[in-house]
Amino acid sequence: MKALLQQAARLLDVQRLVVFTGAGMSKDSGLDTFRDADGVWANNAPQDYASPEGFRRNPRKVWRWYAQRRRQMLEAEPNAGHKAIARLDALLPHVTVITQNIDELHQRAGSSRVLELHGSVHRYKCSKNCRGTPTLTPVPELTQEEPLPCPNCGALTRPDVVWFGEMLPADVWEGAVLEIAACDAVLVVGTSGLVEPAASLLWRAKSRRKALVEVNPEPTLISSIADVLLQGKAGETVPALLAALKEYRTGLH
Ligand code: BV8
């Protein structure tokens, strides 16, 4: 692994780095992934809980599911991987985190530039988008078990997350596309690379010959385009990668 870490460090010693993360990033904070055997979708059908149709069918069920996940995410702490990524801000000139996660653990770890492709569980908005897409933050009553009425139009409110069949927030998506186009390398942590259009950002990076380093305990769809696959857990491997990068840069200067 040491030789792979040194190879990865050389690839990531750049001016502009994108760190692209998925649910595996937060696994070592005690939060479930989606598609692992013990994952979120093992006991909850995505179309019932993470789709507009599911919310329309049973808003209370969906709202309670998110309220429970919100409590888990609030109780969770950023792990050593989140903290190592935040420390990259001081090491490299321009670091942007593009995450599919809704737990805000990157922000809590101290990362300064975070693009949330799929929104945040700590924000909620009117389900009718009555005034465009204002998000009413934060959720006033974390113990809230019933969907709150929109203070403007009285319709039900909903978590400010992107469900299946919904467009990603245009401003966030455009920002992510620009960061991928402008970056020199991408560090990919804890994603199966299954969900689109998020994963397409990585294929864009590869088609523009950006270096790509992946951290995951097992090979994924992305591994075929990764220059280096560091097989390991985010909470252990990302700190080791940060140490290798510091060592490499010290050796250079
Ligand atoms: C859209 C909500 C278009 C928030 C989520 C067929 C082909 C291609 C696409 C589609 C298709 N059919 C339908 C689609 C589109 C669909 C899609 O991609 N479906 C997939 C499943 C096939 N996408 C959409 O619907 C998107 N919208 O396309 O709209 C459109 C066009 C016109 C008009 C209107 C609309 C919206 C997608 C967003 C859905 N929302 N979540 C929430 O509740 O959290 S998806 C969900 O998946 C999460 O956001 C999650 O982040 C995301 C990606 O999953 P991962 O993060 O990768 O997690 P996963 O469990 O899969 O993998 C975890 C990885 O971690 C594994 O590799 C594991 O090995 C690793 N790991 C485990 N332990 C560790 C670890 N890594 C490191 N350390 C560890 N310790």
Whether residues 36 and 140 share a domain: the answer is yes
Whether residues 206 and 87 share a domain: the answer is yes
Q: Is the CB of 199 under 6 A from ligand 1?
A: no
Q: Is the CB of 216 under 6 A from ligand 1?
A: yes
Whether residues 4 and 71 share a domain: the answer is no
Whether residues 87 and 103 share a domain: the answer is yes
Q: Is the CB of 53 under 6 A from ligand 1?
A: no
Residue nearest to atom 40 of ligand 1 (CA): 163
Q: Which residues of the chain have pLDDT under 50?
A: none
Q: Is 194 helix (H, G, I), strand (E, B) or coil?
A: coil
Q: Is 20 helix (H, G, I), strand (E, B) or coil?
A: strand
Kindly report the pTM of this predicted structure.
0.95
Residue nearest to atom 58 of ligand 1 (CA): 23
> How far is Cα 150 from Cα 41, in angstroms, rounded to an integer?
29
8 Å CB contact between 157 and 140:
no
How many angstroms is it from 225 CA to the middle of ligand 1?
Answer: 18
The rounded Cα 60 to chain-centroid distance in angstroms is: 26
How do residues 12-26 score in pLDDT, each as one tens digit?
A: 999 999 999 999 999
CATH, residue 69 = 3.30.1600.10
Whether residues 136 and 208 share a domain: the answer is no
Which residue, among 162, 148, 46, 192, has the nearest Cα to 102 in the 3D structure?
Answer: 162
How many angstroms is it from 22 CA to the middle of ligand 1?
Answer: 8
Known active-site residue 118: yes
CA atoms within 13 A on the CB side of 144: 19
8 Å CB contact between 211 and 186:
yes
What residue numbers bound the domain in which 100 lies? 1-31+78-118+165-253
Whether residues 27 and 46 share a domain: the answer is no
How do residues 174-230 score in pLDDT, each as one tens digit?
A: 999 999 999 999 999 999 999 999 999 999 999 999 999 999 999 999 999 999 999
The domain total for the chain is 2
Among 161, 191, 218, give the residue marking a domain's end: 161
The rounded Cα 50 to chain-centroid distance in angstroms is: 16
How many angstroms is it from 194 CA to the middle of ligand 1?
Answer: 6
Whether residues 57 and 93 share a domain: the answer is no
> How far is Cα 138 from Cα 125, in angstroms, rounded to an integer?
10
> How far is Cα 106 from Cα 79, in angstroms, rounded to an integer?
9
Q: Is the CB of 34 under 6 A from ligand 1?
A: yes
Q: What is the pLDDT of residue 132?
A: 62
The alpha carbon dihedral of 237, 240, 242, 244 has a sign of negative
Which residue, among 70, 105, 65, has the nearest Cα to 189 in the 3D structure?
Answer: 105
Whether residues 37 and 104 share a domain: the answer is no
Q: What is the CA radius of gyration of the chain?
A: 19
Q: Which atom of ligand 1 is nearest to the CA of 220?
A: 67
Whether residues 110 and 127 share a domain: the answer is no
Nearest 5°: CA angle at 120, between 30 and 212? 70
Q: What is the pLDDT of residue 37?
A: 77
Which residue, among 177, 237, 184, has the nearest Cα to 211 in the 3D structure?
Answer: 184
Helix residue ranges, H only, the chain: 2-12, 40-43, 46-49, 52-57, 59-75, 80-91, 105-109, 170-182, 200-207, 234-252
CATH, residue 253 = 3.40.50.1220
Whether residues 184 and 92 share a domain: the answer is yes
Whether residues 140 and 60 share a domain: the answer is yes
Q: Is the CB of 80 under 6 A from ligand 1?
A: no
Whether residues 182 and 238 share a domain: the answer is yes
Strand partners, 157: 126
